[in-house]
């Protein structure tokens, strides 16, 4: 059974710093991996989708990498801003399965 882990559960970083969020998964047979952002009391916003054949994806200050063989993904946020404060979730879609498996998220706080 696929399991997705995000450590740490919470992270505080001063404004302006670059940071990395981690995601690990137990089964490398995946279609893709998605990173989402969730603000308190809100739905999820898709940030980046990495297909299994890709190594990374970039969108603005965000860069997500995927290493299937080691079961790891990272989300790199450059020049962090207070508006980046949110919970970041990763999720994988296993092969032969239409269902996303989610991690429990990392709650990020950017300190002004």
Partner 1 sequence: DGGITQSPKYLFRKEGQNVTLSCEQNLNHDAMYWYRQDPGQGLRLIYYSQIVNDFQKGDIAEGYSVSREKKESFPLTVTSAQKNPTAFYLCASSLLGTGAYEQYFGPGTRLTVT
| Distance of closest approach, residue 73 Cβ to partner 1, in angstroms | 15
Q: How many CA atoms lie within 13 A of 1 on its CB side?
A: 4
Nearer to partner 1, 40 or 112 (CB): 40
| Distance of closest approach, residue 104 Cβ to partner 1, in angstroms | 5
Token reading at 76: 């790199």
Token reading at 57: 């994806």
- Spatial distance between the Cα atoms of 60 and 21, rounded to a whole number of angstroms: 16
Nearer to partner 1, 58 or 95 (CB): 95
Question: For residues 39-77, b (16+ Cβ closer than 10 Å) or e, as one string?
Answer: eeeeeeeebbbbeeeeeebeeeebbbbbebeebbbbbeb
| Distance of closest approach, residue 108 Cβ to partner 1, in angstroms | 16
Nearer to partner 1, 15 or 102 (CB): 102
Contact 110, 15 (CB under 8 A): yes
Footprint of partner 1 on this chain (CB under 8 A)? 4, 31-32, 34, 36, 41-46, 49, 51, 89, 91, 93-95, 97-105
Nearer to partner 1, 100 or 110 (CB): 100
| Distance of closest approach, residue 85 Cβ to partner 1, in angstroms | 18
């Amino acid at each position: 059974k696929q399991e997705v882990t995000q450590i740490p559960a919470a992270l505080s970083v001063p404004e302006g710093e670059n940071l990395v969020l981690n995601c690990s998964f137990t089964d490398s047979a995946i279609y893709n991996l998605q990173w989402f952002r969730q603000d308190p009391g809100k739905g999820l916003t898709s940030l980046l989708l990495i297909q299994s054949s890709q190594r990374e994806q970039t969108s603005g200050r965000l860069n997500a990498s995927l290493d299937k063989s080691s079961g790891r993904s990272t989300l790199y946020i450059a020049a962090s801003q207070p508006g980046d404060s949110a919970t970041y979730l990763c999720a994988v879609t296993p092969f032969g399965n239409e269902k996303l498996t989610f991690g429990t998220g990392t709650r990020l706080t950017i300190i002004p």
